[in-house]
Structure 1
Amino acid sequence: MILNFWAHDNIEFYCINKHKKPVKMTIMNGQTGQFYACPKYMLRDEAHPEGHDADERACSNRLSVIDAEQIVLTLSKEVEDDLVNGIMGDYTGTIIHVKQIDAKVLDYSDSKIKIGIVNRRAIKD
């Protein structure tokens, strides 16, 4: 595993569930711990300025910290395997499936990795 993959907050998760463009997910606190959620998960108020309006449907897309770690470990392993074989790649567009979660690398650079998330287990549309 590449040790600095998590360093300096260089990995961001984005909701790509029915939005015109990816929306950066935020850390929320739940009953069982922290998780990433679409900002549209919460009703818009002072604490959640990017939340959904009262007449707008909430976006239930979310990602547990454990599943986020598994996605990053899977991507890290793919990058590491390529490096061992002398391959320097751009992983933008790479698709990773973990449980019922579809993750797509939206942008891959030395400074930032952006991963789009659709958690089919959480979305009941």
Structure 2
Amino acid sequence: MGTTSGRPQHNAGRARVVLGMVGDKWSLLVVCHLDQGPRRFTELKRAVDGISQRMLTVTLRGLERDGLVTRTVHHVMPPNVTYRLTPMGRTLYEATTPLLRWTVEHLPHIDAARAAYDARGDTSPTGSVPSEH
């Protein structure tokens, strides 16, 4: 990476794509469950609450494509597939663990704030109800 004025140059577009992938609704949850060790597809499906089979497939393919997860086909009867974090996937888990911990710790506060906000019925960005012309 080159530098300009002592600051690293970043390819913002490519970084945005990767951040979008790891910050999507499911990827970090899948990575979190894979930190516990290799998992079969069905184990992940049961562990990640609310994910559809199709979305889990799409998520795992994206994580595999980006080098964060490996997929291993076991040629047994019946055949099965396991997924595991790569070394780079483990560093993603380590980097996001504080965010995951923060999320779990603050869920009650977020729920309360949302309920209070929804009860006010205040949906305009400035806090006032727009007038009709």
TM-score clears 0.5: no
Structure with greater proportional strand content: 1
| Rg larger for | 2
TM-score by length of 1: 0.31
TM-score by length of 2: 0.30
